[in-house]
Amino acid sequence: MSAPKGYSSAQIGLHWIIAVLIGLQFLFNEPIGEAFEQIEEGAVPAFSLLVWGHIAGGAVILLLVLWRVSLRLRRGAPDSPSGTPPLLHLAAAAGHLALYALMVLVPVSGLVAWFGGLEPAAEGHEVMTTLLLIVVGLHVAAALYHQVIRKDHLLLRMMRPER
Ligand code: HEM
Ligand code: HEM
């Protein structure tokens, strides 16, 4: 299968919707942390929209990510911009793989922690959310590096669909 020239509109739409939803999960996680602590202490936490928002938001992210992964496997992704050094190409591939893996593992560990009442899964969730934050930070820095220093208009690839 030859690489497409760019990302499809579905790939681009999913990239930005998932990025916003992940941002919201980071903004609203304290209530579920407190509720989980209460459950561990044997108490029943009061109903909270923010707790269920974190659960539902995370479940929606998982479904969208699985859709995105299936698109990625069927359609592929464009090659690195021409002139990208091999080491940078490798770093981008590794970074994207890590992002996909974390986007699946973070919600799965959250679901296992909450519905299975498993403390190790909650610890895994916490560690992996921190990793996700770090890898997303590097990802954004890389996008800005392409935009400002290499000036290869990489950001446009995630804005303008191409076949
Ligand atoms: C991509 C999706 C998700 C993201 C980015 C995310 C993010 C976070 C973050 C940043 C925390 C705080 C961790 C900390 O205190 O260091 C957290 C806690 C938590 N999340 Fe999620 N979450 C996601 C999906 C889910 C889902 C689907 C569930 C399922 C119920 C869930 C359940 C929990 C629980 C139970 C905690 C508290 C864990 C504890 O305090 O030990 N999360 N989440
Ligand atoms: C939670 C936040 C984010 C996640 C999880 C994420 C994840 C990803 C993943 C997995 C890819 C690879 C797509 C593929 O080749 O299949 C990608 C591509 C891309 N992302 Fe993000 N992203 C996020 C936020 C951002 C932000 C804020 C920017 C802009 C500053 C950005 C800019 C890009 C660009 C330009 C590409 C295309 C790279 C290329 O064609 O080589 N992303 N993103």
Can you give the residue ranges of every domain in the chain? Answer: 9-157
Among the bound ligands, the one closest to the CA of 53: 1
Amino acid at 12: I
Q: Tell whether ligand 1 has an atom less than 6 A from the beta carbon of residue 121.
A: no
Share the mean pLDDT of the chain: 97
Assign 144 a pLDDT band (cuts: 50, 70, 90): very high
**pLDDT tens per residue across span 33-67:** 999 999 999 999 999 999 999 999 999 999 999 99
pLDDT at 163: 87
Give the distance (Å) from ligand 2 centre to CA of residue 77.
12
pLDDT at 47: 96
Q: Tell whether ligand 1 has an atom less than 6 A from the beta carbon of residue 114.
A: yes
Identify whether the C-beta of residue 70 lies closer than 8 Å to the C-beta of residue 63. no
pLDDT at 1: 64
Tokens for 116, please give them. Answer: 């299975």
Among the bound ligands, the one closest to the CA of 93: 2
d(CA 18, CA 21) in angstroms, rounded, equals 5
pLDDT at 80: 92
Angle at 96 between CA 90 and CA 100, to 5 degrees: 145
Strands, E, within the chain: which ranges?
none
pLDDT (mean) for 83-92: 94
Q: CATH number for the 9-157 domain, one of 1.20.1260, 1.20.140, 1.20.1050, 1.20.950?
A: 1.20.950
pLDDT (mean) for 103-117: 98
Q: Which of 15, 20, 67, 150 to mutate to test the pocket of ligand 2 (most atoms within 8 A of CB)?
A: 15
Q: Does pLDDT of 84 surpass 80?
A: yes
Contacts with 28 (C-beta within 8 Å, 6 or more apart), sequence order: 50, 53, 54, 57
Q: Tell whether ligand 2 has an atom less than 6 A from the beta carbon of residue 100.
A: yes
pLDDT at 139: 98
Q: Tell whether ligand 2 has an atom less than 6 A from the beta carbon of residue 24.
A: no
pLDDT at 18: 99
Amino acid at 134: I
